[in-house]
Structure formats: C-alpha cells, structure tokens
C-alpha cells in the first residue's frame, strides 16, 4: 500500500489532520489500534476554543457543533463557601463552545466516511521506519497478516501510549513530566446541569468540577487520592461528596440521578521535544498531556494540527518546507504556554497532600486576588478561551 501521509492514530488529532489534508487533495491512510466503537465510547472534556471551532468548520465538520453546542461566555470559581464569575466575553471579547469530544470524534469519522478516506481499525504491531530517509513506511499486522504502507510523511497522532513518540531516538528526545498526587473521579448522569456554566470549586475536602454535555446530561468530578477506586464510590457517596465541596446555593440546586458512567483518571503534565524527527511529525497527546483542569487537551491537539496541516499543504503545493522545518518550535511554543496554564490552575484549585499551612494560605490569597482583580481575571480568561495560534 502507498499514501502521501500515513496517520497513526484515529482519535481527534488523526481524524482532524486527515480531514484537513483530504480537503486539500492530499491522500492519507489512518491506522487505528482499536475499533471505532471503542474510540467513540471514550468520555472526554468538551470545552472548545474558537481556534478549534474554526478548524472544525474549515474541515467541513462544524455544522452539528454549531447547532447543538453551547456557547459559554464565562465560568464560576468557588472557594471558602463563596462563588464568583469570570466573564470571558467582557474581559477578552471571546467565549468557548461546550460540545463533547465524543461528538467531535463522531463528526470527524462521519466526514472521513463521506470522503471515502481509508481507516484501518484493530491493527497491531505498528512500527514506523525510515523517517530519517525520503521514503518512510509504517508496518503493522491486520488479521494476523503483515502489511506495509509506504508514504512521504508520518503523522504521529497515537496518543500518550502510542509508538510514534518512541520512534524518536531516546538520545534526541527530551521529556518533561509532572505527575499529580491525586486523580479525578468523574460521573456522567442524565440529569440537568446544576448551573448553566461550569463551576470549578476549591474546597478543603478537595477539588470539584460541575460540567455538562447538554441540557439533560451532566458531567461532575471530585478530586480523589491516587490509590482510590470506583468500587469505593457508590452513587450516593459521590453525590454527598460533591455537595460537600460546593457552596450551599449550588449544593441545594444539585439534581442527582444514577450514574451512566463513572471512572477515575490520573493527572499529569507531560511534554516531549522535539515534535518532529525527519519525516515523522507528532501531534496531540502523542507529544503532550495536560491535566484536564484547564480543558486544554483537545485544544492543544487542534493547534498542533493547524500548524501541521498548513505545513504539509504548503509542501505539496510546492511552496517549500519552511513550515515543516519550524513545525516543532511553533507547536511547542503554544504547548508550553497552555501547559503552564493547566499546571497553574491545577495547583490553585486542588488540595495537595504536602501543601502545608503556607501553601494553603497561598491558594487563599491567589483566589482572593482573582475574585477582586480585573487584571487577574483577564489573565485567566485569556488562557481559558485560548491563546492565539
Ligand atoms: N497504533 C495505532 N493507533 C494507536 C496506537 C498504535 N500503536 N496507539 C494508540 N493508538 C490510538 C488510540 O487507540 C487512540 O484512538 O491513537 C489514538 C490517540 O487518540 P487520543 O489518545 O485521543 O489522542 P489525540 O487524538 O491526540 O486527542 C487528544 O484526546 O485523550 C484526549 O485529552 C485528550 O482531548 C485530548 C485528545
Ligand atoms: C468536562 O466537561 O469533562 C470538562 C470540562 C472542563 C474541564 C475538564 C473537564 O476543565
């Protein structure tokens, strides 16, 4: 088999770059380890920056998002029993779109089907070779048969546990990581959201987040110890703990119901440099992971894909390889800034086992400053709605 760009990974990053390249007449093949059903069953954050919304529209997959998504012009922070709103629109002139990542992935798969794009699912033993030559290739097994795709370029969109990043020689790769000493227990419930905007709560019992997917599908999280397990959290305990971490007005308004999904996820910050090695280009979770606090995971994948698709389209248009050559530096510049924001908001809103009395007072002082300072709120809002591409 042969294609122009072989895309390893059929999550949002792989599908989005595939769709943008297809619309520019560039041939791709997507290789996805899991079944489509498995990929579409993943529950992930759904806060979309305008940059991502524009990219989806350019890719021809923005219609359902524009119909069914919710525009949020601000968010609520809660601490010490008080709550205050940060007005993104007033402070930055911009807002965010709330539309589940599962829906984004579903729309991207539907678009790829319509475009007749080749997507191979449930493949094994993917290996990327020859990226330091002009003739790279991707080998893999499908139904036990060894197969090989020759290509011009490889887009490594296979997430944190994929093979792409590890294809870059260890002696060349620089990795930066912070593993947080807690996780998030998340619940999806078919109940009306407690508030029409998201609520991030700092509480002495731990962080809590109130989010949503639509008017009758709510998404809630509470911070839990790393060694905690879902088995120890019957719905009743979850709802009691969530209420305990929210200001009274909000706790009283909470509508509870049976969980339709419940899971615990660890939190980490991770960045690998460089994001390019020869004809291999990493994008999305393959190159970086952010704690979900700032809802930047999908939005960082989007800016990577914006830069990468622009560079590949320029190459095939005969406009040279300048954008390919500065892809890694350009993508990493935004990745580091969004990672700083995600780390900073995580540090502000969570209880750390070792933070001590001084660390506790630092959180309280920063939250108090944030509550009363337009400059502080503008800084948070600018990062939350998305830094420029
Ligand atoms: N070969 C082929 N596919 C693979 C391999 C492999 N060796 N390893 C992993 N994959 C697939 C995974 O099954 C997954 O579907 O690559 C895909 C990577 O998708 P994501 O992990 O969702 O990463 P990405 O597409 O970059 O999207 C980033 O997803 O994880 C969230 O919070 C993250 O919102 C962010 C978004
Ligand atoms: C979610 O809706 O799952 C969500 C929203 C915002 C976040 C994290 C998760 O910061």
Question: What pTM value is reported for the model?
Answer: 0.97
- Pure H helices in the chain: 12-23, 36-40, 50-58, 63-68, 88-92, 101-115, 164-167, 235-245, 248-253, 297-316, 322-325, 327-349, 356-372, 374-385
Between the CA of 67 and the centroid of ligand 1 the distance, in Å, is 26
Q: Among the options 22, 203, 296, 315, which is catalytic? A: 296
- Torsions phi, psi of 51, nearest 5? -60, -40
Look at residue 43 in the predicted model and tell me its pLDDT.
83
CATH class (in words) of the domain with range 5-49+100-177+269-345: alpha beta
pLDDT band with cut points at 50, 70 and 90 for residue 102:
very high
Look at residue 103 in the predicted model and tell me its pLDDT.
96
237 contact partners, CB below 8 Å, separation of at least 6: none
Cβ of residue 47 lying under 6 Å from some atom of ligand 2 = yes
Between the CA of 155 and the centroid of ligand 2 the distance, in Å, is 27
Which is higher by pLDDT, 139 or 45?
A: 139
With tokens 């094994």, the residue in question is 124
Cβ of residue 285 lying under 6 Å from some atom of ligand 1 = yes
* Domain spans, the chain: 5-49+100-177+269-345
Dihedral angle of Cα 160, 298, 188, 256, to the nearest 10 degrees: 130
Dihedral angle of Cα 366, 182, 291, 253, to the nearest 10 degrees: -70
DSSP string covering 316-375: HTTS-SHHHHTHHHHHHHHHHHHHHHHHHHHHHHS--TT-HHHHHHHHHHHHHHHHH-HH
237: which strand partners? none
Between the CA of 159 and the centroid of ligand 1 the distance, in Å, is 4
Q: Among the options 109, 292, 306, 307, which is catalytic? A: 292
The angle that helices 374-385 and 327-349 make with each other, rounded to 10 degrees, is: 130
What mean pLDDT do residues 105-113 have? 97
- In the three-class reduction of DSSP (H, G, I as helix; E, B as strand; rest coil), residue 256 is classed as coil
Distance CA 188, CA 190 (A): 7
Other CB atoms within 10 Å distance of the CB of residue 109: 21
Nearest CA to ligand 2 atom 1: 45
Distance CA 195, CA 188 (A): 15
pLDDT tens figures, 311-351: 999 999 999 999 999 999 999 999 999 999 999 999 999 99
Distance CA 224, CA 183 (A): 5
pLDDT band with cut points at 50, 70 and 90 for residue 44:
confident
Nearest to 23, CA basis, from 69, 63, 56, 65: 56
Nearest CA to ligand 2 atom 9: 45
Active site residue 389: no
DSSP string covering 169-221: -TTT-EEEEEEEEEEEEEEEESS--SSSS-EEEE-TT--EEEEEEETTEEEEE
Cβ of residue 187 lying under 6 Å from some atom of ligand 1 = no
Q: Among the options 22, 72, 203, 306, which is catalytic? A: 72
pLDDT tens figures, 160-190: 999 999 999 999 999 999 999 999 999 999 9
Active site residue 296: yes
Distance CA 112, CA 156 (A): 18
Between the CA of 18 and the centroid of ligand 1 the distance, in Å, is 14
Cβ of residue 32 lying under 6 Å from some atom of ligand 1 = yes
């Amino acid at each position: 088999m042969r294609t122009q760009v072989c895309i390893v990974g059929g999550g949002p990053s792989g599908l989005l770059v595939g769709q943008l390249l297809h619309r520019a007449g560039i041939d791709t093949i997507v290789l996805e380890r899991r079944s489509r059903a498995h990929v579409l069953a993943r529950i992930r954050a759904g806060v979309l920056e305008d940059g991502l919304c524009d990219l989806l529209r350019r890719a021809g997959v923005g219609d359902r998002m524009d119909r069914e998504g919710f525009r949020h012009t601000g968010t609520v922070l809660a601490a010490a029993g008080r709550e205050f709103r940060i007005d993104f629109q007033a402070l930055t002139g911009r807002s965010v779109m709330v539309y589940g990542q599962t829906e984004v992935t579903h729309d991207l798969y539907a678009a790829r089907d319509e475009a007749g794009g080749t997507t191979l699912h449930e493949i094994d033993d993917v290996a990327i070779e020859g990226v330091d030559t002009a003739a790279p290739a991707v080998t893999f097994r499908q139904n036990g048969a060894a197969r090989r795709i020759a290509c011009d370029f490889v887009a490594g969109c296979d997430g944190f546990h994929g093979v792409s990043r590890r294809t870059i020689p260890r002696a060349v790769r620089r990795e930066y990581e912070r593993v947080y000493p807690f996780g998030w227990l998340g619940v999806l419930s078919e109940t009306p959201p407690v508030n029409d905007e998201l609520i991030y709560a700092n509480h002495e019992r731990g962080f809590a987040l109130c989010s949503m997917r639509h008017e009758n599908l709510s998404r809630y999280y509470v911070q839990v110890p790393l060694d905690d397990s879902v088995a120890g959290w019957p719905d009743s305990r979850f709802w009691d703990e969530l209420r305990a971490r929210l200001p009274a007005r909000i706790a009283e308004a909470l509508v509870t119901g049976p969980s339709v999904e419940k899971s615990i996820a660890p939190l980490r910050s991770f960045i690998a440099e460089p994001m390019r090695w020869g004809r291999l280009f990493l994008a999305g979770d393959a190159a970086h992971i952010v704690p979900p606090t700032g809802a930047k995971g999908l939005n960082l994948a989007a800016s990577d894909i914006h830069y990468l698709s622009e560079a590949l389209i320029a190459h095939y248009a005969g406009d040279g390889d300048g954008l390919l050559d500065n892809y890694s530096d350009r993508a990493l510049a935004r990745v580091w800034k969004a990672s700083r924001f995600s780390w900073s908001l995580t540090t502000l809103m969570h209880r750390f086992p070792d933070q001590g009395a001084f660390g506790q007072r630092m959180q309280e002082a920063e939250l108090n400053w944030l509550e009363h300072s337009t400059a502080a709120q503008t800084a948070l809002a600018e990062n939350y709605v998305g830094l420029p591409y």
